[in-house]
Amino acid sequence: MSNSEQIVEVMPEGSLEVLSQHEVERLQSVATGPQHEILRRCALAVLNVGSITDNVREVFEAFSRFDVRIIQQERGIKLALTEPPVNAFVDGQMIRGIRELLFAVVRDIVFLSSEAEHAQQLDFTTSDGVTNAIFCILRNAGVFRLPADPNLVVCWGGHAINREEYEYSKEVGYQLGLRLLSVCTGCGSGAMKGPMKGVTIAHAKQRISNGRYIGLTEPDIIAAESPNPIVNQLVILPDMEKRLEAFLRIAHGIVIFPGGAGTAEEILYLLGVLLHPDNIDMPFPIVMTGPESSAEYFKQIDEFIGATLGSDAQQFYRIEIGDPIRVAQIVADEISTVKSVRQSEQDAFYFNWRLKIEHSFQRPFVVTHESMAKLDLGKHQKGHELALNLRRAFSGVVTGNIKEHGLRAIEKHGPFEINGDKDIMLRLDALLSAFVQQQRMRLPGTVYQPCYQLNI
Beta-carbon contacts of 362 under 8 Å, excluding residues fewer than 6 positions away, are: 124, 127, 130, 131, 241, 242, 245
Residue 119 has what pLDDT?
Answer: 54
* pLDDT one-digit tens code per residue, 335-352: 999 999 999 988 899 999
362 near 127, Cβ under 8 Å? yes
Rounded distance, CA 229 to CA 330, Å? 28
**pLDDT computed for residue 185 by the predictor:** 97
Architecture of domain 144-456: 3-Layer(aba) Sandwich (3.40)
Q: Find, among 152, 391, 157, the residue nearest to 271 by Cα.
A: 391
**Residue 430 contacts residue 148 (beta carbons within 8 Å):** no
Spell out the per-residue pLDDT of the chain, length 456, in tens: 445 557 899 988 877 888 878 778 878 877 787 788 888 888 998 888 765 555 666 777 778 889 999 888 877 888 999 989 888 899 889 999 999 999 999 888 887 777 665 556 678 889 999 999 999 999 989 999 888 899 999 999 998 899 999 999 999 999 999 999 999 999 988 999 999 999 999 999 999 999 999 999 998 888 777 888 899 999 999 999 999 999 999 999 999 999 999 999 999 999 999 999 999 889 999 999 999 999 999 999 999 999 999 999 999 999 999 999 999 999 999 999 999 999 998 889 999 999 999 999 999 999 999 999 999 999 999 999 999 999 999 999 999 988 888 989 999 999 999 999 999 999 999 999 999 998 888 655 567 889 999 998
Helices marked H in 309-421 — which ranges?
A: 311-314, 324-345, 359-362, 369-373, 383-402, 404-413
Phi, psi of 379 (to 5 degrees): -80, 0
Contact present, 321 and 298 (Cβ < 8 Å): yes
What pLDDT score was predicted for residue 260? 93
Q: What percent of the chain has pLDDT above 90?
A: 66
CB 86 within 8 A of CB 216: no
pLDDT of residue 1: 47
Contacts of 389 (CB under 8 A, 6+ apart): 375, 376, 377, 381
Sequence ranges of the domains in the chain: 7-121, 144-456
Q: Look up the CATH superfamily of 7-121.
A: MoCo carrier protein-like (3.30.1850.10)
Map residue 346 onto helix, strand or coil.
coil
Q: At what angle do helices 404-413 and 383-402 cross, to 10 degrees?
A: 80
Residue 399's pLDDT is 93
Cβ atoms < 10 Å from Cβ of 41: 22
